[in-house]
Amino acid sequence: IVMTQTPVSSLVTLGQPASISCRSSHSLLHRDGNTYLSWLQQRPGQPPRLLIYKTSYRFSGVPDRFSGSGAGTNFTLKISRVEAEDVGVYYCMQTTRLYTFGQGTRLEIK
Amino acid sequence: EAQVVASGGGLVQPGGSLRLSCATSGFTFSRYWMHWVRQTPEKGLVWVARINIEGSDTSYEESVKGRFTISRDNAKSTLYLEMNSLRAEDTAVYYCASLTTPAILGGQGTVVTVSS
């Protein structure tokens, strides 16, 4: 399964919303009824960390300004109000059939 | 808090070998499938290998099949990656993780550089 993210980079003003899209080449609906799409954040110089799993479940400790949505082959990560600490690269990851990652979206502050 | 920390990377010549280790804590290691993922600027994040709970079933990304071997020691809560016949294109930061949902990520990776 190929994962394609848009945009490649995003320049956002502090306090403004941001949105990242992820499209999969095949449906991510698993036969068990779950959709195994996750979002990861990688801050500069840091390893990736989990933000969102199963499309819309926020991982423990993740601020509620982060939200995930979508179904089938189209998914979105939204940040309601961007903060300085949100700078980094965001990846979508599917684990429905083996494991593949999007190419990443770089978020920068204006 | 679940933690995974990879180690064992370094500089190795083409054709050489390395053994990576991953120390884990904060979760019941023996209940999780475990994975290795690598990252390069060119290809981004790429899944490399996975192993089931008992260590009896493994799976590999096509380019490393026959060269890499994933294994685990549940008594020591440790994951391993034996890498043989290394190539320049294996140069990457290697992370261990559990990609079962929700994923266990966030540990420091280990840098592998294959160069003469």
Q: What is the pLDDT of residue B106?
A: 86
CA atoms of A62 and A44, how far apart (whole Å): 18
By three-state DSSP, how is residue B28 classified?
Answer: coil
What token pair was written down for A86? Answer: 């949100």
CA atoms of B39 and B91, how far apart (whole Å): 9
Beta bridge partners of B10: B112
CA atoms of B17 and B38, how far apart (whole Å): 16
Q: Please list every residue in chain B whose beta carbon sits closer than 8 Å to the beta carbon of residue A93.
A: 45, 99, 103
Q: What is the pLDDT of residue A70?
A: 98
The strand pair at B58-60 and A37-42 is best described as unpaired
Q: Which residue is associated with the tokens 């979760």?
A: B27
B49: DSSP letter = E
Determine the straight-line distance between the first and last CA of chain B, rounded to whole angstroms: 40
Q: Please list every residue in chain A whose beta carbon sits closer than 8 Å to the beta carbon of residue B103.
A: 38, 40, 50, 53, 93, 95
Asked if B22 contacts B4 with a C-beta cutoff of 8 angstroms, the reply is yes
Q: What is the pLDDT of residue B101?
A: 87
Q: Residue A36: which of B101, B106, B108 has the nearest Cβ?
A: B101
Q: What is the pLDDT of residue B13?
A: 98
Q: Residue A103: which of B44, B95, B102 has the nearest Cβ?
A: B44
pLDDT higher than 90, residue B26: yes
Q: What is the pLDDT of residues B37-90, one digit of tens each?
A: 999 999 999 999 999 999 999 999 999 999 999 999 999 999 999 999 999 999
pLDDT under 70 in chain A at which residues?
none
CA atoms of B2 and B105, how far apart (whole Å): 8
Q: Give the closest residue to A62 by CA, choosing from B110, B98, B105, B32.
A: B105
Q: Residue B105: which of A47, A100, A103 has the nearest Cβ?
A: A47
Mean pLDDT of the B89-110 span: 94
User: How close is the nearest chain A Cα to the Cα of B86, in Å?
Assistant: 23
CA atoms within 13 A on the CB side of B81: 32
User: How close is the nearest chain B Cα to the Cα of A101, in Å?
Assistant: 6
A33: DSSP letter = S
Query: Could B106 and A50 be called an inter-chain contact, meaning their C-beta atoms sit closer than 8 Å?
Result: yes
User: How close is the nearest chain A Cα to the Cα of B61, in Å?
Assistant: 9
CA atoms of A30 and B72, how far apart (whole Å): 27
Beta bridge partners of B62: none
